[in-house]
């Protein structure tokens, strides 16, 4: 049996963390025909500075609903990195917002991929699409959700009238990821 993918997505409020988790989960469950469960953080932590979502993607029904040990982390703030960065172990993948997270070496063999998502979004004129750029980046790097499925999930999850902008953001993140992979410009933290 293939091991489940346990994905931690974290950042601060307003970055669209939950929507990013929703789109990734939806891409897997609806368009890639796998099983996925999304759990988001509620309560004080969801309203303050930090915000987190957890997505499990599996080939079979998910029985235990929470992440036990993430193998992928998408971290979009320094606080998120400090809180969750340590959960990863050898062979895991970390995706980070390049300008907001400065990873430290910790001796583990983790593949770290960085993207200046906020800056790219600002260059598009809309900072609000930072999360969608990260989603595109996630799909390109991890290939856990396919290009087609993730693109469809973006299209069907964003408010009407914003599809074009969001799909452009998705492509931006996806292409950045593909380019990064071909230049193998990854760091091992």
Partner 1 sequence: MKADPAGVLTGVHYLDGDKACAEGGLAAGCRFFAGYPITPSTEVAERVSERFPYMGGMFIQMEDELASMAAILGGSWAGVKSMTVTSGPGFSLMMENIGLGAMLETPCVVVNVQRGGPSTGLPTLPGQADMMQARWGSHGDYRLIALSPNSPQECFDLTITAFNFSEKYRVPVLFMMDECVGHMTEKVVIPEADKIDLTERRYTKKKPGEYLPYAYGEDLIPDMAKAGDGHFFHVTGLTHDERGYPDMTWEMQEKCVHRLIDKIDKNVDEIFMIEEENMDKAEVVVISYGITSRVALRGIQLAEQAGMKNIGRMRLITVWPFPEKRIRELAKKVKAFVVPEMNYGQMVLEVERCAGGQCKTILVPHGGGTVHKPETIYQAIKEAYK
The reply on whether position 63 binds partner 1 by CB under 8 A is: yes
Q: Which of 35, 98, 155, 163 binds partner 1 (CB under 8 A)?
A: 35
Contact stretch for partner 1 (CB under 8 A) within 8-16, 32-40, 122-130, 142-150: 32-40
Q: Can residue 38 be called a binding residue for partner 1 (CB under 8 A)?
A: yes
- Cβ of 28: how many Cβ atoms within 10 Å? 27
Half-sphere exposure of 139 (CA within 13 A, CB side): 31
CA distance 43 to 141: 32
Shortest Å, Cβ 23 to partner 1: 9
Side-chain-side CA neighbours of 29 within 13 Å: the count stands at 15
* Pick from 100, 138, 135: nearest CA to 119: 100
* Residue 64 in contact with partner 1, rule: CB under 8 A: yes
Rule CB under 8 A: say whether 111 interacts with partner 1.
Answer: no
Residue ranges that bind partner 1, judged by CB under 8 A: 22, 25-26, 29-30, 35-40, 42-43, 61-66
């Amino acid at each position: 049996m293939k091991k489940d993918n346990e994905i931690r997505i974290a950042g601060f409020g307003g970055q669209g963390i939950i929507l990013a988790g929703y789109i990734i989960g939806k891409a897997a469950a609806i368009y890639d025909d796998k099983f996925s469960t999304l759990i988001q953080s509620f309560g004080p932590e969801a309203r303050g500075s930090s915000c987190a979502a957890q997505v499990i993607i599996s080939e079979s029904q998910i029985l235990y609903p929470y992440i036990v040990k993430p193998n992928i982390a998408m971290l979009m703030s320094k606080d998120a990195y400090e809180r969750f960065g340590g959960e990863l172990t050898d062979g895991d993948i970390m995706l980070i917002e390049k300008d907001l997270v400065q990873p430290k070496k910790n001796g583990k063999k983790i593949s770290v991929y960085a993207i200046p998502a906020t800056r790219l979004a600002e260059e598009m004129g809309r900072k609000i699409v930072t999360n969608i750029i990260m989603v595109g980046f996630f799909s390109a790097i991890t290939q856990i959700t396919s290009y087609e499925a993730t693109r469809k999930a973006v299209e069907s999850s964003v408010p009407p009238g914003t599809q074009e902008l969001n799909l452009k953001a998705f492509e931006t993140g996806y292409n950045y990821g593909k380019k990064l992979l071909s230049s193998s410009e990854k760091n091992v933290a």
